[in-house]
Amino acid sequence: MPEPSSLEHLSGQCRLDVFKRGRDRYEKTSYPSRTGIYHEIISKRAVLHFNLNGEIIRLAGRGKDWPHPQEWLKRTIGNDWIYYSTGGYTGVFETTGEYYLPNLPYPTNNHMGGRPFETTAVKTLIRSWFEDARAALADVDDGPSQISSVARRILASSPEALAAKSGLLRRITGGPVSVLPPDTRHVDYQVIPLNISRGCLYKCGFCRVKNSSRFTPLNRDTIEANIGRLADFFGDDLTNFNAAFLGDHDALNCEPDLILEAIQLACAGLRLDSSSIRGGNVFMFGSVSSLMKHKQVFFDALGRLPISVYINIGLESAHQNTLDLLEKPLSAHEVAAAFERMQQINQACPNVEMTANFVTGQELPDGHYEALLSLVRNSLNSAKSKGCIYLSPLQFDSPSRARLFDFYRLKRLSRLPLFMYTIQRL
């Protein structure tokens, strides 16, 4: 990788720095913390960050009208803009486990309010960032070859080109990635989407983010071919990714050998454990049925891999009336048994973390929260630092004080880390 280099445009009051090196690991900080390697343009009115392909990845305004000096916009590989707000830091961290709150431009479970995409400064910067970049790079061809090469890649990555490239990603993955596991927050949702299956086992009546496809595992040849396509898609910026999401909605239901081989192929083909950001990671969803069919030897094998593995299970409720209301084809006994199994795996496998989702909402039957507490408090004899519990509202609507009141009450009583699930797509 080239050494950091910079060029100043004093006449245009702009500065271009290429191959800047941020932190080499994801850390939870109450100030903007950048990871990996990127290019930066600082103009009079904005700071623009680009990945190693020359594609815009972050924006922040510099004017007085910008909502907050420590807040910024991030562009995902799916071409969504996300606004990261402070939310008062403490309340956000207690609620989500992160210091910054992702404000999303599409309907989702908004926990703490705020409409940054309606502000003039944010709308203007999203609309005009490419003009700023073009103005800043107007005479870069006169500079060093390394600088001019980066500039050409930035100018080739127009908003239209970025939109087209996101369509290519959907073709590789077989469709949009409609939901990411909540544990991907640990890598700021920066994951490479590698499907090893399609669909899910259950077609729960309440679910709004999964598809209706029948569960189907993919074969090894298809998975290996898609790894090659993804490596080409990410190109030079592959070094800035240390995590993969094994999709679709229940990758854990695949056979053990296929899961283990897919992870090994991803580590090699996508260089997960040798990126510029330390600590390789794999994330996946699972169901109660897929969890319970696997023997301990499989989880032991996962734990011996040179990466961390996070598996998120949709439990939803340990209360039978609630499960029936949700049209989830499980018994409360099966949910309780799965929860117990998850605790056993978390204790036995240091590099594997099992996490769980439960629903929350004012319309749930009496007994739902009592059954939840029977698991996250009464079934455990001490507080645990591993095995996060995520609460997901049934209604994707405006923020609710009652919802947060229920959340904080449960958080105080839980013996497991407990957070709200920020449902985010890719």
Residue range 14-23: average pLDDT?
90
pLDDT at 399 over 90: no
pLDDT at 79 over 60: yes
pLDDT at 298 over 50: yes
pLDDT at 125 over 90: yes
Q: In the structure, what pLDDT confidence band is assigned to residue 325 with cuts at 50, 70 and 90? A: very high
| Residue 362: predicted pLDDT | 81
Quick: pLDDT tens for 164-216: 999 999 999 988 898 999 999 999 999 999 999 998 877 665 665 666 678 89
Angle (CA) 73-234-275 rounded to 5° is 90
| Residue 1: predicted pLDDT | 61
| Residue 10: predicted pLDDT | 47
Where exactly are the structural domains of the chain? 5-159, 174-420
Quick: pLDDT tens for 255-288: 999 999 999 999 999 999 889 999 999 999 999 9
| % of the chain with per-residue pLDDT over 70 | 89
The CATH architecture one would assign to domain 174-420 is: Alpha-Beta Barrel (3.20)
pLDDT at 56 over 90: yes
Tokens standing for residue 95:
């609620």
Looking up tokens 């932190």, which residue turns up?
23
Kindly list the strands in the beta sheet with 37-42, ordered across the sheet, starting from the edge strand earlier in the chain: 5-9, 14-21, 37-42, 46-50, 56-61, 72-75, 81-85, 101-103
| Residue 396: predicted pLDDT | 57
Residue range 110-123: average pLDDT?
84
Helical pair 220-234 and 159-173, crossing angle rounded to 10 deg: 170
Distances (CA, A) of 187 to 116, 258, 387, 415, 426: 23, 25, 17, 24, 13
| Residue 3: predicted pLDDT | 62
| Residue 87: predicted pLDDT | 75
Per the prediction, the chain carries an average pLDDT of 90
Distances (CA, A) of 189 to 169, 224, 243, 283, 424: 16, 23, 9, 10, 8
| Residue 356: predicted pLDDT | 98
| Residue 11: predicted pLDDT | 46
pLDDT at 110 over 70: no
* Residues 318/269, Cβ–Cβ less than 8 Å: no
Tokens standing for residue 59:
């924006």
* Residues 168/233, Cβ–Cβ less than 8 Å: yes
Q: In the structure, what pLDDT confidence band is assigned to residue 363 with cuts at 50, 70 and 90? A: confident
